Amino acid sequence: MTIHKEGYGTLVIAGLILVALNIMLHQYAWVPAPWDLIISVLSGLFYLLILQFFRSPNVNTDLDPNLVYAPADGKVVVIEQTLEQEYFNQKRMQVSIFMSPLDVHVNRNPVSGKVKMYNYHAGKYLVAWHPKSSTENERTTLVVENAAGIDILIRQIAGAVARRIKCYVEEGDPVVQGQEFGFIRFGSRVDLFLPQEAKIKVSIGQHTKAGKTIIAEI
């Protein structure tokens, strides 16, 4: 288990603030026992909570051109046929994964192939489960074409808490199943738009692991 690079600055700042606050409380404020110990313990637990937000586990993905893997850790909240209007302008199978603050926030490529399209959209910060979050929130959209010429659309969506989306690939880049393509701070949502004939292998409420859980066969 390693710490993701997106967390370095936050962890240093949070650590300095917590240490300074504890020094001030113990040196310049009268805090009766056992409250001094309780405050120190709570500070440590709070720092561990921030630390786990930025954990980045090693993931070994079994490469398979016929499979679509989960792009994120989280809970499956949407499985439905929907009209995708940004790129396909036709009905696709949508699978959405909600990332809670306790989930790993690394996003991984669901398929291998080439990035055909990348768009960033500034937008609102509606809660991630809001029906309009997929089209109105801050988001990035990737379309990856696999070796068989099948296009898969991946959309990272910001939420009410998640205010920073990072995407590390650009149009024209080759990508490999299971490798990291982005990061969303403090949870939110990732949508997949698949061909209508895709065989969905997950169910509503199921918890997924990025690069490990099979979302569909294509």
Q: Is residue 13 part of a domain?
A: yes
Is the bond preceding residue 131 a cis peptide, omega within 30 degrees? no
Tally the domains of the chain.
2
* Whole-model pTM over 0.75: yes
pLDDT of residue 138: 83
Using a 10 angstrom Cβ sphere, with 0-12 exposed, 13-18 middle and 19 or more buried, the burial of residue 102 is: exposed
Q: Which residue has the higher pLDDT, 121 or 4?
A: 121
**Are 91 and 164 contained in the same domain?**
yes
Mean pLDDT across 154-180: 86
**Are 99 and 21 contained in the same domain?**
no
**Are 134 and 200 contained in the same domain?**
yes
Q: Residue 127's pLDDT band (boundaries 50, 70, 90)? A: low
Mean pLDDT across 38-52: 80
Q: Residue 47: is its pLDDT beyond 90?
A: no
Q: Residue 163's pLDDT band (boundaries 50, 70, 90)? A: low
Supply the range of the domain harboring residue 47: 2-56
**Are 120 and 40 contained in the same domain?**
no
Catalytic site residues?
A: 188
Least confident of 13-27, 92-106, 204-218: 13-27
**Are 36 and 72 contained in the same domain?**
no
Contacts of 183 (CB under 8 A, 6+ apart): 4, 6, 105, 106, 107, 165, 166, 168
Using a 10 angstrom Cβ sphere, with 0-12 exposed, 13-18 middle and 19 or more buried, the burial of residue 150 is: middle
**Are 133 and 192 contained in the same domain?**
yes
Q: Which two tokens stand for residue 172?
A: 């024209």
